[in-house]
Structure 1
Amino acid sequence: MNKKLYILGIRGVPAQHGGFETFAEKLCLFLVARGWDVTVYCQEEGAGAKWESVWSGVKRIHIPVRQNGALGTVVFDFLATCDALKHQGLFLTLGYNTAVFNLMQRVWRQVNIINMDGIEWKRGKWGRIAKSWFWLNERIGCWGGSHLVADHPKIFEHLATRVSKQKITMIPYGGDEINTANVNLLGVYGLEPHKFSVIIARPEPENSFVEMVRAFSSQRRNHKLVVLGNFSPDVNPYHQKVMADASDEVIFPGAIYNTAIVQALRFYCRFYLHGHRVGGTNPSLVEALGAGCAVIAHDNHFNRWVAGPGAVYFNDEKDCAVVLDNLLPDEEVYFKMKNSSRVRFNERFRWEQILQEYEDLLFKWYPSDLEFK
């Protein structure tokens, strides 16, 4: 009989919503090819009974919910966890935001591995109630999970203040290596290869958008900065500020979900600017390394471990402006940075390596007679 794995905590596969979904898709296909029986819970809009389908050999249990936004996600996670109690096998929960529901799995003595993601309750975008909810669920996830996965050494250290190190395995996020891209896709945005730099992130204060955009716009660059992300300046004051502070050399094309276009923007950009100040292994930064981007990143221990010594780091707006002043015309350093990114990517972030580490962990925790710990 094939080993059974049930994946909770995401909206579903194939990936449409972000890093965890992309990881789940990669892991599912990898495990199915190796004989695993994999089931993923998928969130659907609307009402009615659950239904099942199969995608690329992956079983999917679709659960419709009437609620939208964060409330809809909470309701879906609750219903998915309740359904999971009916099944036998190994369970993998991606994220701890509703770990309180996973306590039911502990009571049922199911083996549930939880990927603890980042330190969500430290993010500046959340209010006091949301931060309290995330803080509480982080504690519950640490206690209630059979085993924990940290995606970064600093996340491992953080979790080790909650539980013993023996209960945690560090496995980072992975990425695909990009060695070519369609240059013609740049024309839609009026771009030429290596004559633009790019930011790809959610436009939140903790991701340093204002600092990077103002640093770039501090003088005429004869260079473009492409800022990808969902901007709503009419309703979001922070988005309004970012766009108001931008020079006419900054382009805001919105969020782009076409993989080929995003790959072309990464592959042909001069610099990839990464302003994240909190979090673990950021998927977008890993993907930039895989595309051989020369990386300019905010200086913190999360980014330094991922991008390595070959990237260049900044602390604030003034610092970022100086970095851009120095690096934009320096061809020699630019090519050294690109080569360093590929070296770092191949050292630690290839999907083949990451997915094998996950399968090894799943095998370790699979035995049906394993007692809950």
Structure 2
Amino acid sequence: MPHAAPSLLILGTRGIPAAHGGFETFAEKLALFLAGRGWRVGVYCQEEVPAITQRFRSEIWQGIELIHTQVASTGPRATLEFDWHCVRDAAQRQSVNLVLGYNGAVFLPYLRFAGRKILTNMDGIEWRRPKWTLPVRSWFWVNEWIGAWASHRLVADHPVIADHLATRRPRSATVMIPYGGIAIENASVEPLAKFGLDSGRYLISIARIEPDNSILTLVEAFSRKPRGMKLVVLGTFSEESTYHRKVKAAAGPEVIMPGAIYDAETVQALRFHARGYMHGHTVGGTNPSLVEALWAGNPVIAHDNPYNRWTAGEAGLFFRDAESCEAEIENLLADDALAARLKAAAQERARRAFDWQAVLEAYEREAFGLMDRVVRPALQPTGVVSNKPQ
């Protein structure tokens, strides 16, 4: 008799089609990729409702089962409730489980005791982020340990994350698979008009407006004197946030803050036509926004840390504080030859290390490995190390 189609469930995101962030974009791409290669794929989708009417409801979208899961709460409680019900349902299905993030890892032992195979992308080192209170950081720390030991295999999206996970589990339990992206080879200039921008005459930052993303440092450094160019800061601002008010107060007249923009065509155009991309993240692994900047051919001005140095490579100029940030801004704006060299380096780095096809094939190999099935060889992204399941 023929084998049943291989099956994968994706847990840990808000769901697809992608509308929220990097994990959702990845989940959508992987689900479509695997469905196109004959896999049965299910993705759990969070549905917040006033009252539960149907806990689980499935529909088929482009060959993928979307498992809508109702929760009658909001905020962090809703996320935990959602994670629990996803695990409870997944435990009853014969599938490999890909878990994205470890924030709800406290529930994974239930899935493992049910005999299900678990592949977990361990994301960044969340408990190190200074924005969290001590109780929240403690919760993340405990969940990181649980996720590391409840999972059969761990995925690190950056060599530094792989090194960190080696302090939790034997290194052979982890595979390093980075994030991916797609080349932006052209983009209309029309979306720029609404912001009063000219191609090549602005820098851009796309990030959550948080202290560990150094947004205040970027804005202060840029605003110290007239530049003859603009800085576009994309992200959601709230007047209730003290930090957000500080960022706005520090902004000079050449800084534009249009809020968060989710229209893909507009964001692509803003990336493609930028003089450079400013990336202030101080913690985390391979950041999706930085990878997308490389694929857009953006010269990068980034906070100087091992995460950003590995990701940006030769495409980056690096800063430690507002003074060094201002110096790199001036270098990039004044030197056309430097900008051209960094642009070429960004495109080369993206092609060499962050190709979606290679990333998705690496995940497929890992899922097959947990099924004790053999999959045809395929190219791996740079730095991927594959070991036998533990």
The interval holding the TM-score normalised by the smaller chain is over 0.9
| Contact 1:109–1:372 (CA under 8 A) maintained in structure 2 | no
For residues 352 and 195 of structure 2, the distance between their equivalents in structure 1, rounded to whole angstroms, comes to: 34
For residues 197 and 314 of structure 2, the distance between their equivalents in structure 1, rounded to whole angstroms, comes to: 29
C-alpha deviations, 1:158-206, integer Å up to 9, x for none? 0001100110000001111110111111001111100111000000000
Question: What is the letter of the counterpart of residue 282 of structure 1?
Answer: N
Asked if 1:238 is matched to 2:249, the reply is no
Partner of 1:12: 15
Partner of 1:159: 165
RMSD of the alignment, in Å?
Answer: 1.2
- SS for the counterpart of 1:189 is coil
Which one of the candidate residues 312, 317, 322 is aligned to 2:317?
312
C-alpha deviations, 1:237-287, integer Å up to 9, x for none? 000000000101000000000000000010000010000000000000000
Partner of 1:288: 293
Partner of 2:97: 91
For residues 66 and 192 of structure 2, the distance between their equivalents in structure 1, rounded to whole angstroms, comes to: 36
Question: What is the letter of the counterpart of residue 330 of structure 1?
Answer: D
Question: What is the letter of the counterpart of residue 76 of structure 2?
Answer: A
Partner of 2:194: 188
Q: Write out aligned runs for 1:120-131 (5 A).
A: 120-131=126-137
C-alpha deviations, 1:210-252, integer Å up to 9, x for none? 11100000111011000000001x2000000000001010000
Question: What is the letter of the counterpart of residue 201 of structure 1?
Answer: A
| Contact 1:111–1:372 (CA under 8 A) maintained in structure 2 | no
For residues 181 and 38 of structure 1, the distance between their equivalents in structure 2, rounded to whole angstroms, comes to: 33
| Contact 2:153–2:389 (CA under 8 A) maintained in structure 1 | no
- SS for the counterpart of 1:328 is helix
Asked if 1:350 is matched to 2:355, the reply is yes
Q: TM-score, normalised by structure 1?
A: 0.98
For residues 152 and 82 of structure 1, the distance between their equivalents in structure 2, rounded to whole angstroms, comes to: 30
Residue 372 of structure 1 deviates from its aligned partner by 9.0
Partner of 2:376: none
Residues 123 and 176 of structure 1: CA distance in aligned 2, closer, same or farther (over 3 Å):
same
Residue 310 of structure 1 deviates from its aligned partner by 2.7
Partner of 2:67: 61
- SS for the counterpart of 2:314 is coil
Poorly superposed stretches of 4+, deviation over 6 Å: none
| Contact 2:43–2:65 (CA under 8 A) maintained in structure 1 | yes
Q: Write out aligned runs for 1:119-268 (5 A).
A: 119-232=125-238, 234-268=239-273
C-alpha deviations, 1:83-109, integer Å up to 9, x for none? 111111211100000101011012112
- SS for the counterpart of 2:160 is helix
Question: What is the letter of the counterpart of residue 42 of structure 1?
Answer: C
Asked if 1:43 is matched to 2:46, the reply is yes
Partner of 2:383: none
| Contact 1:112–1:147 (CA under 8 A) maintained in structure 2 | yes
| Contact 1:92–1:114 (CA under 8 A) maintained in structure 2 | yes
Q: Which runs of 5+ in 1 are unaligned?
A: none
Q: TM-score, normalised by structure 2?
A: 0.93
For residues 290 and 323 of structure 1, the distance between their equivalents in structure 2, rounded to whole angstroms, comes to: 21
For residues 221 and 95 of structure 2, the distance between their equivalents in structure 1, rounded to whole angstroms, comes to: 52
Question: What is the letter of the counterpart of residue 32 of structure 1?
Answer: A
Which one of the candidate residues 71, 76, 80 is aligned to 2:77?
71
Partner of 1:339: 344
* Percentage of matched positions with identical amino acids: 49
For residues 324 and 283 of structure 1, the distance between their equivalents in structure 2, rounded to whole angstroms, comes to: 22
Residues 305 and 372 of structure 1: CA distance in aligned 2, closer, same or farther (over 3 Å):
closer
C-alpha deviations, 1:141-172, integer Å up to 9, x for none? 01110110000000000000110011000000
For residues 78 and 89 of structure 1, the distance between their equivalents in structure 2, rounded to whole angstroms, comes to: 17
Question: What is the letter of the counterpart of residue 164 of structure 1?
Answer: P
Residues 186 and 372 of structure 1: CA distance in aligned 2, closer, same or farther (over 3 Å):
closer
